[in-house]
Amino acid sequence: MNVGMVAVIARHELRIVLRNRWIALYAALFAGLTFAVSYFGLVVIEFTGFQEFHRTAVSLLNLVLYLVPLAAMLMAVQSFRPEGGATEQLFAEPLTAGEIVLGKFAGLSVAHTLAIVGGFSFTGVLIALKVGTRGLSSYLVLIAFASLVGLAFLAIASMLAIATRRSARTYAVVLVVWFLLVLIFDLLIIGLSLVLPYAWANRAALAGAFLDPVDATRVATLLAVAGKEVFGSAGAQLVRALGGTGPAIVLLAAALALWVVWPVAVAIRLLSRQDV
């Protein structure tokens, strides 16, 4: 594999994505949502004004876990779709499957991370100017895990796009997978917790944190931001088993990284077997 060629493809992909107005709208959406949550988050108690970083991060978490995976998956599908001369020309070049997949994934990853960081930074600067930097670490943790879960779903969608041979049904497949991982999986874990004995319910919750990148992100972020108490007895069990909150967060981050690695590896293998 030619690393230099991977870098060339990555730069080419990054230029294509950045020229697309969609990525600018994505960053603007993040900026608007973070601003609204921070400024109007306490409107129910008749208070408007910027909240500090910690409260903003906790309030944004669930919204991020719905939006980031969907946006990342749609971005990856759009990149691998057969329409458009640039993509088809790339597949026609004498390049290996690894160079194509890694190059396109690297470009997409940089663009997606820039959109997230840019969107969050806009409101972050305003919060710092208005109420100070207290709780900034919580906000930075949220940005880091939002970026990481975005990479995981970029990888998953890239794999699915190649598995479906970049056909029109790819969008449908991706939406179904997003629905299963973001919505149905949590409902399944909740259902199991209602029917299983207490000890087994805790084990199911812990397993779910590693079997779903969304749950891994949620648990790791909450452990880092608010401590094990917000995750209940299952969170306490995880922290106790690993000897502290820090090791638990590191293990969950490693699980998220694995969700990036294995779909990319599968995508390379699938593409190498296809006649493109």
Res 110: pLDDT: 93
CB atoms within 10 A of CB 83: 9
The residues, ordered by sequence, that sit 6+ positions from 48 with a Cβ below 8 Å of its Cβ are 39, 40, 42
Q: What is the pLDDT, as a whole number, of residue 232?
A: 55
Q: Is 269 helix (H, G, I), strand (E, B) or coil?
A: helix
* Domain extent for 230: 3-272
> What would the two tokens of residue 145 be?
């895990």
pLDDT at 43: 47
Query: Whole-angstrom Cα distance, residue 247 to residue 143?
Result: 20
pTM: 0.89
pLDDT of residue 73: 93
Token pair for 178: 């997003």
Tell me what pLDDT residue 179 has: 93
- Write the CB contacts of 150 (distance below 8 Å, at least 6 apart in sequence): 68, 69, 71, 72, 112, 113, 116
> What is the reported pLDDT for 53?
80
Provide the pLDDT for residue 82: 66
Amino acid 54: pLDDT: 81
Mean pLDDT, consecutive 10-residue segments, the chain of 276 residues? Answer: 83 85 82 79 54 81 90 89 64 79 92 90 84 84 93 94 81 92 86 77 77 89 72 64 78 92 93 75
> Phi and psi (nearest 5°) for 71?
-65, -40
How many domains would you assign to the chain? 1
> What pLDDT does 237 receive?
67
Give the pLDDT of residue 275: 65
Taking CA atoms, 209 is separated from 133, 217, 257, in Å, by 30, 8, 13
